[in-house]
Chains A and B, each alone.
Chain A
């Protein structure tokens, strides 16, 4: 297998993971804020809205990723002109898969902001919007950033399903390699190189997340 093929696979995996994480947050961050704000102890409790959004999120989370990938094919075809076979055809399903997870992660991070801090800012006459922008999100940033790393790692795991729709990437590359060398794949050097690369990428994401979180943390709880 040529070296450039592996480089392309790395680019596909990293690119898809980064983009799907980004899109999942574009949708999931507002949704998580909504869940937190309308929750029982939130800024503006609203039971029906919270239940409704919570239900959608829960349903999305309980459908296995492979099913979502299949369900998304027509939508992907509508938007990109084709439903399978290219690296970008897995972007939409991965975003949908991670969206519910992200919403709950964000909701959870915001719930960790001490009630007293919110109260103090409310007592200054802040609007709910100001509380969200100036207190909830900035104060939760350490937890949000560590959350992003967790989400990115799981999305990277989901890119395995790229194999099923021919969307490329390193993990599906490893599997393809196996199908071609079923007898002696364990003895092939390149096979192990690709696995080490996956591990390195995961470690890289985690370390980067931790590094940024530490930089951001002025409360000095992360050691």
Chain B
């Protein structure tokens, strides 16, 4: 379990210091795939680098299974880092070593005198057993990231930190890497912290998510909760961006949320039985944590007449809903 308590990071600068992180409190449970999402410059990389102390926090605690990383000796820190591996956007493989040697190195560092067998086993696990003698320059981005994953697993970590691990990859390769991470999470009970600026990456794999904005966490929790009811501007931007653009100002819309519990054709009932005419401004369904989640945003042309009828019906059917300002959707 990773507990981050009151973490603060200030980069020193001539003008007195730049606050990259403030008031960060976050708990990642064993087995979680925890997403951290935010716009560029929000502090995501800084946060993830604080977790293994590649970046030294200015104040606050990083507890790994109760042990405070900011307080342990240098020697202990190096030991603990083996429990928290990391992969990167640019893969960061050693260019002058072949695939097998790259992976073996991680074992050597951990004091394993005979790392070859294990390295080959892990390279099989990531599907690269036929590339043992290739050099990183001869591999595609996706293959390089697989090598990096095998290398990260070499130290038997409990946690894998991923800093934009798929941002340099095309959608298909991204998908296959995410699937690999998911299977490692299941197979090895590997806890994963994944940083991304893409909602699609988080949705595909995470069970929990934290939204980081301007150095602080603005919302966090189970993915479906954060996803279905974005409570602040950044969350809305990340979730609706590029999808909803009505151009309509000053109206109220009604948003219905589905979390896989209602088993009725709600939308069609609203139209055919309640005889409410609606325009659908936005609709999507997603598989989140193996449940179908979705949302539909209605515009009611006859708002004043229909709104009470509609809200009564939705309350009766136990469909969560809320009114949203048309301006608040991007």
- Indicate, yes or no, whether A interacts with B: yes
- Contact surface of A with B, Cβ cutoff 8 Å: 114, 116-117, 119-127, 130, 134-135, 138-139, 141-142, 216-220
Q: Is the CB of A139 within 8 A of B109?
A: no
Chain B residues near A127 (CB-CB < 8 A): 78
What 9 A-B pairs are tightest by C-beta distance, nearest first? Answer: A120-B92, A125-B81, A116-B92, A219-B95, A123-B86, A218-B135, A125-B82, A125-B78, A126-B109
Query: Is the beta-carbon distance between A218 and B137 smaller than 8 angstroms?
Result: yes
A219 to B110, Cβ gap below 8 A? Answer: no
| Chain B interface size range | 20 to 34
Cβ–Cβ < 8 Å partners of B98 in chain A: 218
Tell me if B203 counts as interface (CB < 8 A to partner A). no
Residues of chain A contacted by B78 (CB below 8 angstroms): 125-127
Contact partners of A121 in chain B: CB under 8 A = 94, 105, 109
Which residues of chain A come closer than 8 Å to B109, judged between CB atoms?
Answer: 121, 124-126, 130, 134
Q: Within the complex, which residue of A117, A123, A142 is in contact with B54, where a contact is CB–CB below 8 Å?
A: A123
Q: Which residue of B lies closest to A138 (CB)?
A: B96
Please give, as numbers and ranges, the residues of chain B lying within 8 Å of A216 by CB-CB distance.
96
Expressed in whole angstroms, the Cα–Cα distance for A127 and B81 within the complex equals 11
Other contacts beyond A117-B95, A124-B82, A124-B154: 17, CB < 8 A: A120-B86, A121-B94, A123-B81, A123-B86, A124-B109, A124-B151, A125-B81, A125-B82, A126-B78, A127-B78, A130-B109, A134-B108, A134-B109, A138-B97, A139-B95, A218-B96, A219-B96
Complex Cα distance A173/B54, Å? Answer: 58
B329 within 8 A of A: no
Q: Which residues of B contact A117 (CB under 8 A)?
A: 92-95
Shortest Cβ distance from residue A36 to the other chain B in the assembled complex, whole angstroms: 17
Query: B155 within 8 Å of A by Cβ?
Result: yes
The answer to whether the Cβ of B88 comes within 8 Å of any Cβ in the partner chain is yes
> How far is A122 from B74 in the complex, measured between Cα atoms in Å?
12
Q: A121-B105, A121-B109 are in contact. Are A141 and B96 (CB under 8 A)?
A: yes
